[in-house]
Structure 1
């Protein structure tokens, strides 16, 4: 029997809490994973590569389109009294709240701007000059590693996939794959630790599920 807390399955809360505790008490996991993608002679394997550039630069325009297009359709629906894709005020409110609270407020404004964690490539371990600090530990290193803004933006597409009426599993899978690929290149380019990407994923996913449940009151509101 599936049990929810604040409209989010309990097992997702559990996975978030357990993974967070692991990152805090076993921080060497971050160093180990980054080291797998690092060569002392050449640096991080994806840094400066064409695929890193494509995925890194794709997030902002994709997020912009994912927000702007539904708004334009909503305005069109109002003006011509149509119901294209069933996009209404609630759908727009949901989309805007997810992006504002998850990637915006929690990831970028609270964590990234105030935690100070140095990026992998900036740490002494990987040829930099700053100290490594575990996830969730506030640092004076002046870095912006915790947590990953690009990962949060990429996984924002999961929020849109939740609205899909047809082939929801496909769209969810596509959103997850994109988020994982962006997370990978951020780690492989030395921009983030593994924990930075995992935390951003959970923040955005939990925010999406919570707001979906609140706004649509547990009912399945989907777009065509």
Structure 2
């Protein structure tokens, strides 16, 4: 049974990602108490969300903020460096690097932070009257005016944590399974830590994962159909090298003019 489900997910990943969004949405609309119960596990009337006072969760929060941003900067730096040092192509496949950059922009960037967190207005747990705040609790997909910016629905840090799973595409095939489990564990810890801090409800986390995965799968499928990971991969590498050669030539010409 388990093997059959895994095979089905591998054959139709976009379908199952869409189903995950629908099923999770239905679950938390039918049983909103799941959000409250999960957050209550980390809350006390005297200490609030008490894990915020401990060293390890605080450091984990900082890691969750730093690591995805540093990764994006490194990927951008690699793509730019490839223009000047073509031999760097031996390190990582350029189509995978471009996919990761585009998926970060479209998923965590545009959908999560640009659309949902900006417009849905869901108060964070710590902002609700159930956990010491002033606003009432609102359910998933319910637009409110409680929070004005950087709101609870859905989680940006969980979205970026899930996005990190895509880094397995940069690794040799033999390393991907173990690395995938390691990244999944890190994603889970970073994401669930936000519940412990009162920053997000469980539904914010799970729907953030599902939505980010949905965007990444759509983008990957489009790039795959365009041949980016197949017959056109070498062509893309060569075009990037040609653009780098042209850029270096123009910069050299500009430098000669400036010296004169």
Deviation at 1:48, TM superposition (A): 3.1
CA contact (8 A) 1:116 1:139 kept: yes
When structure 1 is superposed on structure 2, of 174-183 and 10-19 the one drifting more is 10-19
SS in 2 for 1:47: helix
When structure 1 is superposed on structure 2, of 209-218 and 31-40 the one drifting more is 209-218
For 1:155, the equivalent position in structure 2 comes to: 162
Distance 1:193 1:117 in 2: 10
| Mapped pair 1:193 → 2:198 | no
| Mapped pair 1:172 → 2:177 | no
Larger Rg: 2
| Mapped pair 1:20 → 2:28 | no
Query: Superposed, which structure 2 residues align to 1:1-224 within 5 Å?
Result: 2=8, 8-82=13-87, 83-88=89-94, 90-142=95-147, 144-166=151-173, 167-217=175-225
Deviation at 1:54, TM superposition (A): 1.2
Distance 1:175 1:41 in 2: 35
When structure 1 is superposed on structure 2, of 156-165 and 92-101 the one drifting more is 156-165
SS in 2 for 1:216: helix
Distance 2:153 2:85 in 1: 45
1:17 to 1:163, Cα distance in 2 relative to 1, 3 A:
farther
CA contact (8 A) 1:155 1:178 kept: no
Q: Deviations over 1:167-206 (max 9, x none)?
A: 1112221221111111221101111100011111111222
Distance 1:161 1:39 in 2: 39
1:178 to 1:116, Cα distance in 2 relative to 1, 3 A:
same
Instruction: Provide the aligned C-alpha RMSD in A.
Output: 2.3
CA contact (8 A) 1:95 1:159 kept: yes
By percentage of residues, which structure has more helix?
Answer: 2
TM-score, normalised to structure 2's length? 0.76
Deviation at 1:67, TM superposition (A): 1.8
Deviation at 1:148, TM superposition (A): 0.7
TM-score, normalised to structure 1's length? 0.88
1:48 to 1:109, Cα distance in 2 relative to 1, 3 A:
farther
